[in-house]
Amino acid sequence: MVNDQSHQDLISWSPTGESFFIYSSKNFSKQVLPEYFKHGNFSSFVRQLNMYGFRKINKASRGKHGTDQSEIWEFMHPQFLRDRQGKLSEIKRKAANSE
């Protein structure tokens, strides 16, 4: 999804390749998510990222979330790196907390 050139205006790698950006969650949800998932729910997508250990990167200069066109979400995972597909197998779902 991040490497798909047809959606580079909505999702792309950071310059370092250590994180990725999502631009305009509304458009991303409508255009990209349904191609890869059975839904177009951005909140569910973010929840899935969190379950697999991805972290949201907060940077104040990226605009306010909720303003759609100016919003930029950035996520990273130490094993999710541009051009390093061999590390993908190291990304595991977090174990459920037992009470």
pTM of the model: 0.82
Residue 91 placed within a domain: no
Residue 60 placed within a domain: yes
Q: How many domains does the chain have?
A: 1
Is 81 or 71 the better-scoring residue by pLDDT?
A: 81
Query: Could you tell me the residue range of the domain that residue 53 belongs to?
Result: 5-86
What pLDDT, on a 0 to 100 scale, did the predictor assign at position 79?
A: 95
Residue 99 placed within a domain: no
How far, in Å, are 32, 40, 48, 94, 95 from residue 98 at the CA level?
34, 30, 19, 12, 9
Q: Does pLDDT of 99 surpass 60?
A: no
Residue 59 placed within a domain: yes
What CATH number should be reported for the domain holding residue 71? 1.10.10.10
Q: Which residue has the tokens 């458009």?
A: 27
The confidence band for 70, taking pLDDT boundaries of 50, 70 and 90, is: low
Give the residue-averaged pLDDT of 27-42. Answer: 93
